[in-house]
Amino acid sequence: MSLWRVLEQSLRAHGHQPALTRPDGTCMDYAELLERVETLSAKLGAFIPAGSRVAVVDEHPFQEAIQVLALIALEVTVVPLAYKYGEQRCIQIIQHTRPDFLCSSTSSLVSEAILEACRAAGTVPAIGAEPPSGAPQGAGASDGSPAEMPASFIMYTSGSTGKPKGAVLTHANVLANIEDIRTYFEVGPDDHILINRSLSHASVMTGEFLYGLIYGARVTFYTESFVPRRLLSFMETNGVTIFCSTPTIFYQMALDRSDYRAPTLRKVALMGEYLHKQVSLKINERFPHVEFFMVYGQTEASPRVTYLPSRYFTVKESCIGTTLPSMEFRIVDENGHDVVRGEPGELLVRGPNIFWGYWDQPELTTVKLRDGWLHTGDMVCQGEDRYLYISGRKDDMIIRAGMNIYPREIEDVLLADERVREAIVFGVADPKYGQKLHVCAVPYVEGGLTPADVLDICKKKLATYQYPDAVDIVQQIPRNAAGKIMRRQVTV
């Protein structure tokens, strides 16, 4: 059954149950949501042909969510643009994906720079579901889209080469992952899920938004900036029962000086970064009534791969648990041979949730996806208890507050500045951030560069989550005998 059929069945079956909270705080029920989605998909379907790629951007995730559902109903490929990460990021995604249409319920976010990117990419803006006027010739009939590519999501994630990459997740991938999540993280019509991250993350799209709607829960988007006390207060006032987050966010909530305990909260999934022991203990101490799960995944797996049952949450440090029921795994050495149990190696996973490939980057797809096996780049070992334990990354990727950051993205920006002779970026373990982002920079001229200058360079070109947490101006960066920068040896 298609993703839309499964969603439609749920939207019909849950009729007058609360479904989606409007921006004014009132709640739309499932019957009304279905009506809104069907009306919008009929309007959009009048000019968006099957097989199109459609980018979505909206001011409020409520509107974005309805657009996404309408596009799923049309069985087209959806490209969520994360406006939160800046206009530059949206433009980069438009340039790379060359969507046929850009949908937004309002013109407020569609700036002149975004319109210019649309013109260059042959993308037709469709604002307020109105049929576009004066569409350029050829627009709307997806160019360059591989004929065999099914209806999908293209989810952008950080790239090791400094440019974001678009993982194509088919509707079938997402549905398979939802069925797997159901085996350990049950939700139902009595639940109220609070989402405080963007729908452009696969874990939010699959594991929170679509998952919640398919099983009849109420879904609310939290749009305020994160302040633990206010978020806890919101949870108490609104009876939130389910929350998915990074350890960074939840640790800050556990440390808050207020008396809030979120008594209705019953399940929390933590993901996206290493869970330090002191963090799990503190969280459990503050919220003893909550069932916690540590989950591990990657965008390319739609995204969930493993989960650690709640009973082991504070017991097994660095453990990511076991793979989901429909998945297989291998742990291999650098020659691709399976390691002996207990030895570390790269985690490879296979299953119906593994992505279709990267959009328009076949070489990269070949590296990441071989014979159906996703090469995660994560180093793990299998313990005697058969659970998987994570030991690090095969590459230099840093995970700061749940966001993946490749050092090269930042180093390239710094090195493009005439004051910077050399720069190196690396992560340092930190319980509050998972890893903190450190920069060591060598100036061309002694005294010609300050930490504040480095921050200013980053602010001009990078997203806020890529700003450094610490900057050292040094005279020399350590290298090995071959002259290669030793990223892991850099200490502060």
Partner 1 sequence: MNVLEQIQTALNEVAVGAEGRELTNELNLSDLGIDSIKYVELLVRIEELCDITFDESDLGMESLRNIGDLTALIEKTLSQQVG
Which spans of this chain sit near partner 1 (rule: CB under 8 A)? 224-230, 233, 248, 252, 255-258, 401, 432-433, 450-455, 458-459, 464-465, 467-471
Tokens of 264: 């209705």
Euclidean distance between CA atoms 158 and 61, whole angstroms: 22
Give me the least distance between CB of 228 and partner 1, in Å please: 6
Tokens of 208: 């929170």
Give me the least distance between CB of 472 and partner 1, in Å please: 10
Give me the least distance between CB of 457 and partner 1, in Å please: 11
**HSE-CB of 404 using CA atoms within 13 angstroms:** 22
Is the Cβ of residue 60 or residue 479 nearer to partner 1 in the bound state?
60
Give me the least distance between CB of 251 and partner 1, in Å please: 10
Is the Cβ of residue 412 or residue 472 nearer to partner 1 in the bound state?
472
Tokens of 211: 């998952």
Tokens of 428: 């340092």
Is the Cβ of residue 68 or residue 254 nearer to partner 1 in the bound state?
254
Is the Cβ of residue 357 or residue 434 nearer to partner 1 in the bound state?
434
Give me the least distance between CB of 437 and partner 1, in Å please: 10
**HSE-CB of 65 using CA atoms within 13 angstroms:** 26
Is the Cβ of residue 367 or residue 470 nearer to partner 1 in the bound state?
470
Is the Cβ of residue 12 or residue 229 nearer to partner 1 in the bound state?
229
Is the Cβ of residue 86 or residue 189 nearer to partner 1 in the bound state?
86
Residue 413 has what DSSP assignment? H
Euclidean distance between CA atoms 182 and 174, whole angstroms: 12
Question: Is there a contact between 370 and 330 (Cβ–Cβ < 8 Å)?
Answer: no
Give me the least distance between CB of 224 and partner 1, in Å please: 6
Amino acid identity of residue 61, one-letter, is P
> Measured at the alpha carbon of residue 364, what is the angle toward residues 363 and 367, in degrees to the nearest 5?
95
Give me the least distance between CB of 408 and partner 1, in Å please: 20
The CA R_g of the chain, rounded to the nearest whole Å, is 23
Q: Identify which of 388, 389, 270, 390 has the alpha carbon closest to the alpha carbon of residue 328.
A: 388
Characterize 330-350 residue by residue with b for buried, 16 or more Cβ atoms within 10 angstroms of its Cβ, and e for exposed.
ebeeeeeeebeeeebbbbbbb
Is the Cβ of residue 347 or residue 401 nearer to partner 1 in the bound state?
401
Give me the least distance between CB of 478 and partner 1, in Å please: 22
Is the Cβ of residue 397 or residue 471 nearer to partner 1 in the bound state?
471
Give me the least distance between CB of 398 and partner 1, in Å please: 14
Cα-based distances in Å from 21 to 6, 17, 139, 267, 303: 21, 12, 35, 20, 25
Euclidean distance between CA atoms 341 and 252, whole angstroms: 37
**Which parts of 253-363 are beta strand (E)?**
267-270, 291-297, 304-308, 319-323, 328-332, 345-350, 357-358
Euclidean distance between CA atoms 394 and 319, whole angstroms: 17
303: preceding bond cis by omega (within 30 degrees): yes
Give me the least distance between CB of 441 and partner 1, in Å please: 12
Question: Is there a contact between 168 and 300 (Cβ–Cβ < 8 Å)?
Answer: no
Give me the least distance between CB of 429 and partner 1, in Å please: 16
Is the Cβ of residue 47 or residue 226 nearer to partner 1 in the bound state?
226
Helices in 74-136 by DSSP H: which ranges?
87-97, 112-121
Is the Cβ of residue 312 or residue 467 nearer to partner 1 in the bound state?
467
